Chains A and B, each alone.
Chain A
Amino acid sequence: MTAAGRFWRYAALSVGAMVRRQPLASALSVAAVALAAGMVLRVACAFSATSDRLGEMMADAALHFDRVVAEGAEGEALDAAIARPHPALPEALLAAVRGAEGVERCVAGAVVTVEVYPGGGRGMGRGRPGGPGGSGGPGTRPVNVSTNITDPMFRMAGWMPGEMALCPLFSPEEGAAPSGVEAEQWARCVEEGALAVPSSLARQYGLEAGAEVFLAGAGGRARVAVGAVYETGRAGAVRGLFPVCAPREVFENVAGGEWMANRAYVRLREGADAAGFEAAFDAAVAECGAAAALLGPEYWREAAAPFARGRGGGGFDAIPYSAVFLAVMAALFLLLSTLAMNIQGQRRELAVLRAIGAPSWMPAGAVVVQGLLLAAAGWAVGAAYGLWAFRGTVPEAARGWGHVVALARGGLALSAVPVAVATLLACVPAVWMATRLHPLESGAIEAGGAGTGRRAFVSGSVAMLLHPLLAWTPLARGPLAQSFVLPAAYLLAMVGAVLMVPGLLRALAGLLARPIGAVLRLHPLLLRDHNRGGLWQQTLGASALVVSLAFYLTTAIWGESMKIPFLAGDKAPDAIAVFLPEGPLAERAGEVAAIPGVRADSAMRLTHLRLADADALRGKFFAGSELILLRADLPGFLSLASHRLVAGRTGPIGDGECVVMAQMPLADPDAFRIGKPFGVYPLGGDPGADTSRSELVPVGVLDIPGWQLITKSTRMRRGMNRSLSLVFVNDATFDRYAPGVRENCHWLALEPGTDLRELQKALDALRPYPSAYVKLTDVAGAQAMIARRSDSVIAPLLRLPLMVLGLSSLAVLVSLVAAVWSRRHAYALLRALGLDRGRLVRLLVGEALLLATASVLLGTLLAVLFARTGILLCNRTMTVQAPFVWPWRAWTTGAAATLGAVMAGCLLALPVLHRREGAGAGLAGVDR
């Protein structure tokens, strides 16, 4: 027989021996690899496939047109506010576009943003009433139909059942049908004064022709019939692309202003010179002196980019990838444990082989073959599971968006890569163990050595200390931070924690052996001694647990902490009333405070500004370039909800001065400082406003928890646009930007038990004209909804880490069985010396307690480091101030799961000791 033949024969025998000797460990390894491979397919590949598809779809989101001409230098019309239509695109520009070479079709129209919610009639059903104050009047409360949010437009907007949707309202020029709507259908809509709604919105609300919807815009609220549902084909996720289409009269009523073309859709002929068209457009813009932008494929690509893989989730995307990574790590630990247990069981055979001259590559090769076979079996099962899970869930979810999502080619092969890498990594230490056996090796247990773990503990502590040094300091802000510094900091902390395990186990054994021994009625020396044996196996198991527990706790801490900036807490007004489009007439403005049930009213004038130099906001997730400008009686406002200035002076605000939110200095501490002016432009085209750039000087900094979402719910923001700050100014400064705006925003403190419906009626009575719209928001109700939404986001995020924790339990189980197996001689000796089974169980329980304590301590420490780093990063990128919140419930769950896993592992190891008959049968030299 050739050398290769001899090797394969030996490898086959060794694989057979492994399966015979370690059936449980082998099965669990296969299961772990299967789960890891399945997760790679289900989570990573599916996630990539869907996000890639979504990215592609959004990049192609101009539907039937190639270019969109939008009013405003940066195409602001696409992020239109609930406001009157913007200034029109000049006729000359539209004519130039229509006449440009290569243009096949050009449809001009007007767009504004409106609120839309179902209004009853045919097609309604399965609804439930919304919260108080949500709609704007008795009998017109928003009724939501679908509780299954499948449309990404709504999902990405954070839309929840019970909320109304913000939607573009589009009205095309005379004689033209909106894109996607049949000409005959549109003619009927015009004739009947009905709407054409996109299929994505119709699906969400269960609308069909004949149903009615409410539209609320700057001109007030209107109840309009649905005349047609037009198919978008794709769901359309970019804001402003798939509008509700309204005839001109309806549009003008809702928008509160005359129709004017502020957008034009352009389709180019096939093979047309796109660059030539763009050049012609630029020339026309220059000639007209108009502020207009041409949005093309680049714009859509840019709009799609945040949603593409790894960039859109504000940290959320990292969670499934982390789960996959940890599942692969758990599989690695299990494979290593199984291989190590097998080597442990074959020590004598391997030593004999070495003694009779077998080359060291022979056992090494056999170990690799064992590992690869286990991995291949696991991968085969996992691939089948992953494909089944993928096909069963992802395309189904994608169908809601009108998509076909298929697993990317090579997905299966891709799932094999991490499995193969993990297997080879697991084989390295196993090969080392198999080849380092001395030919004179006996089956006796080795002494751990007094220094075992001490050096590793010190190295691990240093590695862990390096994490905050790297991640919590300015080092994490440099250009290399994302690519190198932060990954290195995370890796260092993880490696450090693993290195600390043996030393911590020993230290804990020294510290806790006495109390645990007292409880379990065992001599401390027994616990101390037993913790010295099987240390590396215990380390493997504990490491898997430490990392998984840390992952679980990090997610929980991060989730709980990041909720805080979005919850107003106790320091919030009871209700907020916003008059759209304008406040009560001047002589009635004071009547809001006199409404029964209103204890205090902070009446404000509200408009919007745009930050002039927005470069500082690049990469800031929650920071928009818009500012919510408020003229308020600041002391009255502060006392209404117990707010206070966190910096600056509390005296009256002078002309050109302002008080800003704490988040604004956070956006760039150098750019936004007290006393340092910043530039702004007005928004909205209010007649008489000074439209040139001007400056405001911050004199105070205020912090109102949850202001972002409060302003969103109450429509204090412009549409879905994100705001950087509330900016409080005096009357004179406000008048510079919006002289005609009355007191249209009221923060209210209410008497306990105030009926919000009655309050709504009283506020409606103050409208300047009947179609005006008062949006009354119950802050407590909105907060509860935000809290529910946060919880609904966090709960599924915690499921993956819990799954990984469960998988790690398998690793622990196998590792502990391996640890007990490696010390079976010692246990057998104790049994022979008179240790009864009860005490043996107590001894194992004691060891489990020590191991669980070490795992929980290190897991918690690692989670604190990771979570704090995550919160710091998110605070920086989201421009919020999230505190560090300790999730006691999650910690208790995690600690209990850890203890349970370790305990189960130790107790399941008992049968290993009893597998062979007799208490002393495990002792060397025992034969018949």
Chain B
Amino acid sequence: MVQATMVMAAEGLGKAFRQGEERIAALDGVSFGVERGTFTAVMGASGSGKTTLLNLLAGLLKPDAGRILLDGDDFSSLKDSERARLRRRRIGFVFQDYNLLPNLTLAENVRLPRLLDEAPEGAEGWLAEIVEFLGLGGRLKHLPSQLSGGERQRAAIARALAMKPEIVLADEPTGNLDLRGSTHVCELLRRLCRERGCTVLAVTHAPHVAIHADRVLMLGDGRLLADRPMSDFGDAEQLAIAYQRLLAPVAEGRP
């Protein structure tokens, strides 16, 4: 049973895709809760269902089974427009490939979620603050093609924060960055939780990213294999060993 104090929770989530005649279960009976103001890492091998889980949590996909609760309310059963509104106002999404619009400047890309809302103007102070917070102050008029990989990733994070979301969902936020860059991004996400009270849920398969989280969820073949506080693992090395140990039976096809 998911606790009522959780900002977001999944209950028995199931999702399958069709590939021709074959039905492939991407997620199967996944349940967990995420506490407000925490940083949760979702780990798993490629094809384990991490991105599907994130898309379900963001309301981009509808689950075949189970439900998603946002502040205790069933989020997944809402109409498309209501889910879009919640996504716009309460959830920030950081994409793996940044997905910045190439024709918009960095400033315009960051403001984009606000432009989609009914009352888009205003909040310039907040936007300036997050841009400064992310160290992008001098690059506002640049197009994405004129930014480095790290800057693009930070711009994607800035855009995710534009609406002051309660929840930030990040899909492999450091997937395209080197170790230094990814450490910087992880520290930023950490600071978001600490200083801004955001709830962060980041998908990764890298232990050195996950160690910045408060909790770690491990997925394998669409099922939740582990849901433990980071303190259980100690450091990145132990986390990597535990991760390998948990995933080994899945990789060998054992339950």
| Residue positions of A touching B, CB distance < 8 A | 444-448, 521, 523, 525-526, 529, 532-533, 825-826, 829-839, 917-921, 923-928
Contacts of A836 in B (CB 8 A): 80-81, 84-85
Pairwise interchain contact B103-A533, C-beta atoms closer than 8 A: yes
Which residue from A525, A837, A920 sits with its C-beta under 8 Å from B55? A920
Which residue from B26, B55, B99, B113 sits with its C-beta under 8 Å from A834? B113
Pairwise interchain contact B171-A834, C-beta atoms closer than 8 A: no
A819 to chain B, nearest CB (A): 14
Pairwise interchain contact B120-A523, C-beta atoms closer than 8 A: yes
B179 at the interface (CB under 8 A from A): no
Main SS of the interface on chain A?
loop
Pairwise interchain contact A833-B88, C-beta atoms closer than 8 A: yes
Pairwise interchain contact B97-A834, C-beta atoms closer than 8 A: no
**A–B pairs, 11, beta carbons within 8 Å:** A447-B144, A826-B101, A829-B99, A832-B95, A833-B87, A836-B84, A923-B99, A924-B97, A925-B51, A928-B17, A928-B51
B143 at the interface (CB under 8 A from A): yes
Pairwise interchain contact B58-A447, C-beta atoms closer than 8 A: no
Contacts of B51 in A (CB 8 A): 925-928
Pairwise interchain contact B87-A832, C-beta atoms closer than 8 A: yes
Which residue from A523, A825, A838, A919 sits with its C-beta under 8 Å from B60? A919
How long is the Cα–Cα vector from A446 to B143 in the complex, in angstroms?
Answer: 11
How long is the Cα–Cα vector from A837 to B96 in the complex, in angstroms?
Answer: 24
How long is the Cα–Cα vector from A927 to B50 in the complex, in angstroms?
Answer: 9
Contacts of B93 in A (CB 8 A): 832-833
Beyond the given pairs A445-B101, A523-B115, 13 more chain A to chain B contacts, judged by CB atoms under 8 angstroms and listed by A's residue number, are: A525-B115, A831-B84, A832-B60, A833-B88, A834-B89, A835-B116, A921-B55, A923-B95, A925-B96, A926-B51, A928-B26, A928-B47, A928-B52
**Which residue, of B112, B120, B159, has the highest number of chain A Cβ atoms within 10 A?**
B112
Pairwise interchain contact B55-A926, C-beta atoms closer than 8 A: yes
B118 at the interface (CB under 8 A from A): yes
Pairwise interchain contact B102-A446, C-beta atoms closer than 8 A: yes
Pairwise interchain contact B103-A834, C-beta atoms closer than 8 A: no
Pairwise interchain contact B96-A835, C-beta atoms closer than 8 A: no
Contacts of A923 in B (CB 8 A): 95, 97, 99
A876 to chain B, nearest CB (A): 49
B61 at the interface (CB under 8 A from A): yes
Contacts of A920 in B (CB 8 A): 55, 58, 60-61
Pairwise interchain contact A834-B85, C-beta atoms closer than 8 A: yes
Pairwise interchain contact A825-B116, C-beta atoms closer than 8 A: no
How long is the Cα–Cα vector from A917 to B58 in the complex, in angstroms?
Answer: 14
State whether A532 and B103 are in contact (beta carbons under 8 Å apart), knowing that A447-B143, A523-B120 are contacts in the complex.
yes
How long is the Cα–Cα vector from A880 to B159 in the complex, in angstroms?
Answer: 67
B24 at the interface (CB under 8 A from A): yes
B218 to chain A, nearest CB (A): 17
* Beta-carbon nearest neighbor of A517 in chain B: B115
How long is the Cα–Cα vector from A246 to B149 in the complex, in angstroms?
Answer: 100
B104 at the interface (CB under 8 A from A): yes
Contacts of B117 in A (CB 8 A): 834
A831 to chain B, nearest CB (A): 7
CB-CB contacts of B40-74 with A at 8 A, as 1s and 0s? 00000001010110010011111000000000000
How long is the Cα–Cα vector from A827 to B87 in the complex, in angstroms?
Answer: 15
Pairwise interchain contact B99-A918, C-beta atoms closer than 8 A: no
State whether A529 and B101 are in contact (beta carbons under 8 Å apart), knowing that A918-B55, A920-B55 are contacts in the complex.
yes
B231 at the interface (CB under 8 A from A): no
* Beta-carbon nearest neighbor of A825 in chain B: B99
How long is the Cα–Cα vector from A863 to B52 in the complex, in angstroms?
Answer: 54
**Which residue, of A445, A525, A526, A834, has the highest number of chain B Cβ atoms within 10 A?**
A834
* Beta-carbon nearest neighbor of B88 in chain A: A834
Q: 5 tightest CB-CB pairs across the interface, nearest first? A: A834-B88, A836-B84, A920-B60, A523-B115, A447-B102
B238 at the interface (CB under 8 A from A): no
How long is the Cα–Cα vector from A839 to B84 in the complex, in angstroms?
Answer: 10
How long is the Cα–Cα vector from A445 to B103 in the complex, in angstroms?
Answer: 9
Pairwise interchain contact B58-A832, C-beta atoms closer than 8 A: yes
B134 to chain A, nearest CB (A): 18
**Which residue, of A837, A917, A919, has the highest number of chain B Cβ atoms within 10 A?**
A919
* Beta-carbon nearest neighbor of B145 in chain A: A447
**Which residue, of B24, B61, B99, has the highest number of chain A Cβ atoms within 10 A?**
B99
Contacts of A834 in B (CB 8 A): 84-85, 87-89, 113, 116-117
